[in-house]
Amino acid sequence: MNAAQDTILRLEGLKMHFPVTSGIFFQRVQGWIKAVDGVSLTIRRGETLGLVGESGCGKTTLGRCVLRLYKPTEGRVEYDGQDITDLGNRDLRPFRRRMQVIFQDPYASLNPRMTAGRIIGEPLAIHKTVADREEQRRRVLELAEIVSFHPSMLDRFPHEFSSGQRQRIGIARALALNPEFIVADEPVSALDVSIQAQIINLLMELQQQMGLTYLFIAHDLSVVRHISNRVAVMYLGHVVELADSDVIYSDPAHPYTQALLSAVPVPDPAVEATREPIILPGETPSPLNPPSGCVFHPRCPMAEDRCSRETPEFREVRPNHWAACLLTPGYDQAPPVKP
Amino acid sequence: MPPLLEVQNLHTYFYTDGGVVKAVNDVSYQVGEGQAVGIVGESGSGKSVSALSILGLVPYPGRIVEGRILFEGANLLALSDRDMQRIRGNRIGMIFQEPMTSLNPVLTIERQLTESLETHLEMSRGAARRRAVELLEMVGIPDPHQRIKEHPHRLSGGMRQRVMIAMALSCNPNLIIADEPTTAVDVTIQAQLLELMKSLTRELNVALIIISHNMGIVARYVDRVFIMYAGKIVESGPVAETFRSPQHPYTLGLLRSIPRLDLPRRDVLESIPGQPPDLAYLPKGCAFRERCTYAVDRCAEEVPPLVGVTRNQQSACWQAPISVTKESAGK
Ligand SMILES: Nc1ncnc2c1ncn2[C@@H]1O[C@H](COP(=O)(O)OP(=O)(O)OP(=O)(O)O)[C@@H](O)[C@H]1O
Ligand SMILES: Nc1ncnc2c1ncn2[C@@H]1O[C@H](COP(=O)(O)OP(=O)(O)OP(=O)(O)O)[C@@H](O)[C@H]1O
Ligand SMILES: [Mg+2]
Ligand SMILES: [Mg+2]
């Protein structure tokens, strides 16, 4: 297969910085929050790329840049071979239909004045993908059913639902147009494990049938392992590791990934009692003032002197296994190229 | 000594145009001083509404139609709005499930924290500010001096959640109700936050109610667990026993659905077949019946009460005690 064809999304040196201002009338920029600070990666057509990492490390911001809900400060976003970094709203419209999002915060993303049924049906109406009202109604019912949503609840408004019910409205809406690419930002965090399993099975089934691609952002590492082909680990605006899902979990290269995995609580009190998480010393550094050298060095249990001076590159330390850590075996031999 | 919190026969209904939604439908439980309990269960089964009921925050058109909530011996349902407000600020700390619905979007984080410190703990402006920064530091927000001046929409999902936790801890409560407190943070911060709350239960004898879908958290941090389905508690017991030998088919189904990092990956996750019911149109008999592989005729007629089935475990199932083989428990 042709490599370029195989890629649905390419990010190059992506940065998203937010200004921090002071003063009410004459706003002065006091500094920048470097939410995403130089991310390069590709997502293959038909794969699920899991994105995990510390809270506040820039996952949601990255997802919003990918969908061009933000205009990146620097770098390139290429979708299906086309540079979409600088496109305006009009030119983005055809892409909007192909790319959908499941938002992290369901409440804030649902129109409080619309019923669940209208919210789910809205994209169908806007993009005119259904012939008439009757067809729209049928499609909405179908979508409600696949997210385990009782049809009698479609006439209610967002505030009348529980968090998990709202999350499912968001999922149904994202699926309405049969998109080819979905940014799913914590899509199952408010669901009980049984409905979570149903939704995950559904997402994987749709992927098999229709070749859907997912950027799957989540904090639940067991869920991420289950659904992802590859996993990217972010820390403070940087992707620090990227590899096949099995490899990340069985043989993590970056010390941050190792600490992260050790902290996962296991749903079995007997197993739980035998586990010892690696507690990272110190506090999460601020994206306002990132540390010098490797951004992880102040908390890294293995850090050496040079880690505070040298900035690690994102390198292929083993075949198809990328990491940004000076101390990872294979780093020095690896060619410094972009994935 | 009576328990710190006693919920008795709580019924909370929403009177909507489309019918009466029986969100909490006869729920009773107790929490002792310094005890950590967990509430897990189906999405939409009434976990959040039962928590809001304790705090007197059930939104219109909802109403507590029956029941008693005794906290430190007093019936909260009989208190005036003013007294209830004092309890919310001083005695019970609440961490709401969706931070954006309870944080004020137009106020800075600082103002939201200092306001309650000033009114409830009668702190001076300066002292409240210092305390607010301290609290943000405690919940692991980097650069608290800077970030405290921000508005909620400029924070990440997990940072908002931590602001909520800081607010709940700010008033030195006796009881903390944490509704999905850590869904938006990574596992290391999750561990840090839960350790923080757990240490309060150990050191200051604060009681903790954790509502969570994360069975790992429940396994690690609570002593006793309540499982909810369709507005009712269907099972309760010590967490270790409940996970080892669940006594309700719903609990069993839940435990089987979890993807686990300590076990090999499966191709398809197990899940409970069928759909959760609409609480406005509850079927007769046991609400779980249609999805239950253990169901018998009686289940369609009579609602099973929550009764003791083993020494420590209660279940609301006509078929309990149910025996679970190792293989069927999903191992
Ligand atoms: N609109 C904005 N304005 C200013 N700062 C922002 C904005 N959105 C995000 N940030 C900041 O950018 C950083 C990254 O935020 P982001 O929401 O991308 O994190 P995240 O990885 O999704 O975290 P979480 O796991 O907690 O959801 C944070 O420090 C956040 O405060
Ligand atoms: N304002 C309201 N009007 C009508 N029905 C409501 C309202 N608020 C909640 N409900 C209904 O009450 C039931 C219980 O909701 P609740 O938020 O307690 O669920 P939950 O167990 O917390 O679920 P989740 O795990 O998804 O957060 C739900 O079925 C919901 O649809
Ligand atoms: Mg986020
Ligand atoms: Mg809830």
Residue in chain B lying closest to A103 (CA): B157
**Would you state the structure tokens that stand for residue B6, as one six-digit string?**
């006693």
Identify whether the C-beta of residue B285 lies closer than 8 Å to the C-beta of residue B295.
Answer: no
Indicate which atom in ligand 1 lies nearest the CA of residue B160: 26
Between A140 and A270, name the one with better pLDDT.
A140
Mean pLDDT, residues B149-164: 91
Q: Is the CB of A59 under 6 A from ligand 1?
A: yes
The answer on pLDDT for B264 being more than 70 is: yes
**Does A56 contact B at CB distance below 8 Å?**
yes
For ligand 2, atom 2, the nearest C-alpha belongs to: A160
pLDDT of residue A49: 98
Q: Are residues B164 and B137 in the same domain?
A: yes
Mean pLDDT, residues B280-308: 95
CA distance B277 to chain A (A): 7
B254 Cβ neighbours under 8 A, 6+ residues apart: A192, A193, A194, B40, B41, B215, B227, B272
Give the Å distance between the CA of A51 and the centre of ligand 1. Answer: 15
Q: Which of residues 114-153 of B touch A (CB under 8 A)?
A: 137, 140, 142-143, 146-147
Give the Å distance between the CA of B115 and the centre of ligand 2. Answer: 29
A314 Cβ neighbours under 8 A, 6+ residues apart: A40, A238, A239, A240, A242, A322, A323, A324, A338, A339
pLDDT of residue A337: 63
Which ranges constitute the DSSP H helices of chain A?
A: 3-6, 59-66, 89-98, 106-109, 116-126, 133-146, 163-175, 193-210, 221-227, 245-250, 255-262, 269-272
CA distance B110 to B151: 9
Categorize the per-residue pLDDT at B329 as very low, low, confident or very high, splitting at 50, 70 and 90.
very low
Q: Are residues B115 and B208 in the same domain?
A: yes
Cross-chain residue pair B16–A160, CB shorter than 8 Å: yes
Give the CATH number for residue B124.
3.40.50.300
**Backbone dihedral angles phi then psi of residue B187, each to the nearest 5 degrees:** -60, -30
Q: Are residues B36 and B168 in the same domain?
A: yes
Q: Which residues of B touch A53 (CB under 8 A)?
A: 186
What integer best gives the mean pLDDT of chain B?
Answer: 91
Q: Which residues of B touch A190 (CB under 8 A)?
A: 43, 97, 180, 183, 213
Q: Which of residues 61-90 of B touch A (CB under 8 A)?
A: none
**Does A52 contact B at CB distance below 8 Å?**
yes
**Does B262 contact A at CB distance below 8 Å?**
yes
Q: What's the domain range around B247?
A: 229-330
B35 Cβ neighbours under 8 A, 6+ residues apart: B4, B201, B207, B208, B223, B224
CA distance B185 to B258: 19
- Give CA A221 to chain center in angstroms: 13
Condensed to tens digits (0 to 9), the pLDDT of residues B82-92 reads 999 989 878 99
Q: Are residues B312 and B260 in the same domain?
A: yes
% chain A with pLDDT above 70 = 96
**Domain end residue (candidates: B200, B222, B244):** B222
Q: Which of residues 251-280 of A touch B (CB under 8 A)?
A: 259-261, 263-272, 277, 279-280
Q: Are residues B158 and B55 in the same domain?
A: yes
Q: Give residue limits of the domains in chain A.
A: 3-39+47-237
Q: Which residues of B touch A249 (CB under 8 A)?
A: 261
Q: Which residues of B touch A220 (CB under 8 A)?
A: 214
Q: How many Cβ atoms are within 10 Å of B73's Cβ, its own excluded?
A: 10
**Cross-strand bridge partners of residue A102:** A184
Cross-chain residue pair A267–B186, CB shorter than 8 Å: no
For ligand 2, atom 16, the nearest C-alpha belongs to: B46
CB pairs under 8 A between A and B: 218
* CA–CA distances in Å: residue A209 to residues A53, A95, A124: 30, 21, 21
Condensed to tens digits (0 to 9), the pLDDT of residues B171-203 reads 889 999 999 999 888 888 888 889 888 888 888
What integer best gives the mean pLDDT of chain A?
Answer: 90
pTM of the model: 0.91
pLDDT of residue A179: 95
Mean pLDDT, residues A301-330: 94
Categorize the per-residue pLDDT at A338 as very low, low, confident or very high, splitting at 50, 70 and 90.
low
pLDDT of residue B327: 43
Q: Is the CB of A60 under 6 A from ligand 1?
A: yes
Residue in chain B lying closest to A259 (CA): B188
CA distance A332 to chain B (A): 29
Categorize the per-residue pLDDT at A190 as very low, low, confident or very high, splitting at 50, 70 and 90.
confident
Q: Are residues B197 and B314 in the same domain?
A: no
- Which of helix, strand or coil describes residue B37? strand
Categorize the per-residue pLDDT at A284 as very low, low, confident or very high, splitting at 50, 70 and 90.
confident
Residue type, A187: P
Categorize the per-residue pLDDT at B330 as very low, low, confident or very high, splitting at 50, 70 and 90.
very low
Q: Is the CB of A238 under 6 A from ligand 1?
A: no
Mean pLDDT, residues B139-149: 89
Q: Are residues B39 and B150 in the same domain?
A: yes
Q: Are residues B94 and B167 in the same domain?
A: yes
Categorize the per-residue pLDDT at A265 as very low, low, confident or very high, splitting at 50, 70 and 90.
confident
**Does B261 contact A at CB distance below 8 Å?**
yes
Mean pLDDT, residues B145-162: 91
Mean pLDDT, residues B3-10: 96
**Would you state the structure tokens that stand for residue B288, as one six-digit string?**
């779980």
* CA–CA distances in Å: residue A126 to residues A52, A68, A122, A298: 33, 19, 6, 50
CATH class of the domain comprising A3-39+47-237: alpha beta
Mean pLDDT, residues A51-69: 95
Identify whether the C-beta of residue B35 lies closer than 8 Å to the C-beta of residue B223.
Answer: yes
Look at chain B and report how many structural domains it folds into: 2
Mean pLDDT, residues B278-289: 93
The answer on pLDDT for A273 being more than 70 is: yes
Cross-chain residue pair A52–B184, CB shorter than 8 Å: no
The answer on pLDDT for B326 being more than 50 is: no
Give the Å distance between the CA of A223 and the centre of ligand 1. Answer: 22
The answer on pLDDT for B256 being more than 90 is: yes
Give the Å distance between the CA of A225 and the centre of ligand 3. Answer: 19
**Domain end residue (candidates: B168, B197, B222):** B222
DSSP strands (E only) in chain B? 5-16, 19-31, 36-41, 62-71, 74-75, 92-95, 175-179, 207-211, 224-229, 232-238, 307-308, 314-315
Condensed to tens digits (0 to 9), the pLDDT of residues A68-118 reads 999 999 999 999 999 999 999 999 988 998 999 999 888 788 999 999 999
Q: Are residues B99 and B21 in the same domain?
A: yes
Cross-chain residue pair A223–B44, CB shorter than 8 Å: no
**Would you state the structure tokens that stand for residue A45, as one six-digit string?**
């057509």
- Dihedral sign (CA A81, A85, A91, A93): positive
CA distance A233 to chain B (A): 11
- Sole residue written with tokens 């919210």: A119
Q: How many Cβ atoms are within 10 Å of B224's Cβ, its own excluded?
A: 20
**Domain end residue (candidates: B171, B190, B222):** B222
The answer on pLDDT for A1 being more than 60 is: no
Q: Which residues of A touch B136 (CB under 8 A)?
A: none
Q: Are residues B134 and B267 in the same domain?
A: no
**Nearest ligand for residue B287 CA:** 2
Total length of chain A: 339
- Cα atoms found within 13 Å of the Cα of residue B64, Cβ hemisphere only: 22
% chain B with pLDDT above 90 = 71
The answer on pLDDT for A143 being more than 90 is: yes
| CA-based radius of gyration for chain A | 21
Categorize the per-residue pLDDT at A5 as very low, low, confident or very high, splitting at 50, 70 and 90.
low
Residue in chain B lying closest to A156 (CA): B18
Residue among B148, B160, B188 with most chain A CBs within 10 A, to mutate: B188
Q: Is the CB of B29 under 6 A from ligand 2?
A: no
**Does B50 contact A at CB distance below 8 Å?**
no
**Would you state the structure tokens that stand for residue B105, as one six-digit string?**
């979007």
